[in-house]
């Protein structure tokens, strides 16, 4: 099987050699017919080897790919042509990844999905990124095949997001699947795409206690995902936006030893 086991390590010489072998293998692989483009992805990383390998894997998976090595160019490319998804390294020269993410969200909050690339020691930045509305993150070193799987899952979820059914009403909280709107005491609150889908899932299963892993499976659609802390961050963000008193939540309850439950 031709793949790079890990990207983002310091084994530059071996990695470069592996990249060359991988590239030759991919270039010699047969391509049957005209490739169907599944979506557009912008890869933003200042390490050329990582950007190259990730881009090639995504292209082979059927995506249209552009790349940028710094934040300024990334923002320019987003402005020129909005991608469906951005694979975004947090540690960038000049404009860092979090600032790029803020500006992308200002430009198009609901439609550009974002997957963050982070190092093991960047947990605080990772949490900030999730709070700003990142759809997912992957920690370096990582397998490019896993990254492609994450891209597939995020875009599949976007394409198949529930958009029908009557509004769901609960004591001042209204969740409207068709309009993708949420009202709290008749005032609309702005949710990211993932926040909305998590709240909608809860609202459609009132009274049911879900583990964090079950929520990852059902909302994130990742059966292989082992880090469930992203669920905790998203629930905390939802409480801040839809609860009258986030410290004593009315709707999104913690079930100790299990996970979370939506109480109508």
> Over its length of 264 residues, how does the chain's per-residue pLDDT go in tens digits?
344 446 665 444 344 344 443 443 333 333 333 344 578 999 999 999 999 999 999 999 889 999 999 999 999 999 998 899 999 999 898 899 999 998 888 876 557 889 999 887 777 877 888 777 788 888 888 888 889 988 988 887 665 555 567 899 999 999 999 888 999 999 999 998 889 989 999 999 999 999 998 898 888 766 555 567 889 999 999 999 999 999 999 999 999 999 999 999
What residue spans in the chain does CATH classification 3.40.50.2300 cover?
Answer: 12-159
Residue 248, both tokens: 């004593």
Q: What is the pLDDT of residue 209?
A: 94
SS3 of 155, please? helix
Number of H helices, E strands in the chain: 9, 12
Tokens describing residue 189? 């609150």
118-139 in b/e burial notation, b at 16+ Cβ within 10 A?
A: beeebeebbbbbbebbbbbbbb
Please state, as a whole number, how many other Cβ atoms lie within 10 Å of the Cβ of residue 91.
15
Q: Report which of 215, 78, 228, 60 is spatially closest to residue 151, judged by C-alpha positions.
A: 60
Q: Which two tokens stand for residue 75?
A: 């923002």
- pLDDT at position 7, please? 66
Angle formed at CA 147 by CA 212 and CA 92, multiple of 5 degrees: 100
In contact, 212 and 231? CB cutoff 8 Å: yes
Per-residue confidence (pLDDT) for residue 217, from 0 to 100: 80
Where does CATH 1.10.10.10 sit in the chain? 168-262
Question: What contacts 220, CB < 8 A, 6 or more positions away?
Answer: 136, 153, 157, 194, 230
The CATH code belonging to domain 12-159 is 3.40.50.2300
* CATH 1.10.8.60 assigned to 168-262: no
Give yes or no for a cis peptide into 141 (omega within 30° of 0): yes
Q: How far apart are CA 87 and CA 93, in angstroms?
A: 16
pTM of the prediction?
Answer: 0.60
């Amino acid at each position: 099987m031709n793949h790079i086991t890990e990207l983002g390590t310091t084994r530059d010489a071996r990695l470069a050699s592996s990249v060359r072998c991988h590239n030759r293998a991919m270039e010699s692989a047969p391509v049957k017919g005209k490739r169907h483009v599944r979506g557009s992805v912008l890869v933003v990383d200042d390490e050329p080897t990582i950007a190259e390998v990730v881009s090639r894997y995504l292209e082979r998976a059927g995506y249209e790919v552009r790349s940028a090595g710094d934040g300024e160019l990334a923002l320019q490319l987003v402005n020129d042509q909005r991608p469906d998804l951005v694979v975004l390294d947090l540690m960038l020269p000049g404009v860092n990844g979090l600032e790029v993410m803020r500006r992308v969200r200002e430009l198009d909050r609901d439609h550009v999905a974002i997957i963050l690339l982070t190092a093991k020691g960047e947990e605080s930045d990772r949490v900030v990124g999730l709070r700003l509305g990142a759809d997912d993150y992957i920690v370096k070193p990582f397998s490019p095949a896993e990254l492609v799987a994450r891209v597939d899952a995020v875009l599949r979820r976007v394409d198949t997001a529930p958009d029908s059914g009557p509004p769901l009403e609960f004591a001042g909280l209204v969740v409207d699947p068709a309009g993708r709107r949420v009202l709290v005491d008749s005032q609309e609150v702005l949710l990211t795409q993932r926040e909305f889908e998590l709240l909608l899932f809860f609202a459609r299963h009132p009274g049911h206690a879900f583990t964090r892993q079950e929520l990852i499976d059902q909302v994130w659609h990742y059966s292989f995902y082992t880090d469930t802390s992203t669920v905790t961050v998203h629930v905390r963000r939802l409480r801040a936006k839809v609860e009258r008193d986030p410290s004593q939540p009315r709707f999104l309850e913690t079930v100790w030893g299990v996970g979370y439950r939506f109480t109508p």
